[in-house]
Amino acid sequence: MGRTSFDQDNWTLRLHNVQIKDKGSYQCFIHHKGPRGFVPLFQMTSELSVFANFSEPEISPLSNITRQSGINLTCSSSQGYPQPIRISFWLKTKNSTVEHDGVMEILQDNDTELYNVSTSLSVPFPDDTSNVTIVCVIYMDSRETLFFSPPFNTGKAASQGNFFHQVLYTNA
């Protein structure tokens, strides 16, 4: 069976199992079969955009986090489309939230055309606190779509839920 189906009741053409390669312009022509051949009744062009959600970004420590060694992390996410515009880390202490943009590493699967992305962070541990809550954020296109990692805490006293609500409120 093919990947298209047509509903004759409401004249709907459906494309099933959409793939990245399906994006683009499509033209629809409706003709009436008259005594002298087909007579055009209607024509239109539609643009198909394809979007695949990335996996939830995952933060992984590259080494033990201590005041002496600093904070060394990586963030990765996979199987998304289109390519994100950037990835950053948000570091939240008791007194501030600081954003650090990372260099985005990008891999694209030749068959599916889906992207896997990652970035790393290496910063000194802040002097004014014993606890830092970190979130990785993937920024998509101009639709302002963001993907958030679960909060990563450097200390045991951090409140994960509290930070996430503050982040959403601050950027709303």
Q: Is the pLDDT of residue 166 over 70?
A: no
Question: Global pTM?
Answer: 0.75
Mean pLDDT of 81-94: 92
Question: Quick one: CATH architecture of 58-156?
Answer: Sandwich (2.60)
Q: What mean pLDDT, rounded, does the chain reach?
A: 84
Give me the pLDDT at residue 163, please.
Answer: 39
Give the model's confidence band at 90: pLDDT under 50 very low, under 70 low, under 90 confident, else very high.
very high
Rounded Cα distance between 112 and 20, Å, is 7
21-25, 62-66, 142-146, 158-162 — most confident range: 21-25
- The end-to-end CA distance of the chain, in Å, is 46
Neighbours of 143 (CB within 10 A): 7
Alpha helix (H) ranges present in the chain? 160-170
Q: Which of 48, 4, 52, 3 is nearest to 22 (CA)?
A: 48
What CATH class is the domain 4-48? mainly beta
pLDDT-based confidence at residue 119 (cuts at 50, 70, 90): very high
- Is the pLDDT score of 168 beyond 70? no
Q: At 1, is the pLDDT very low, low, confident or very high (cuts 50, 70, 90)?
A: low
User: What integer pLDDT is reported at residue 158 of this predicted model?
Assistant: 35
Residue with tokens 């055309």: 113
User: Secondary structure of the chain: what % helix, strand, coil (to 5)?
Assistant: 10, 50, 40
What gap in Å lies between CA 35 and CA 37, rounded to an integer?
6
Domain assignments of the chain as residue spans, ordered by start: 4-48, 58-156
Element (H, E) at 153: strand 152-153
Among 47-51, 91-95, 139-143, 167-171, the minimum mean pLDDT is found in 167-171
Identical fold at 4-48 and 58-156?
yes
Query: Token pair 């005594």 is at which residue?
Result: 35
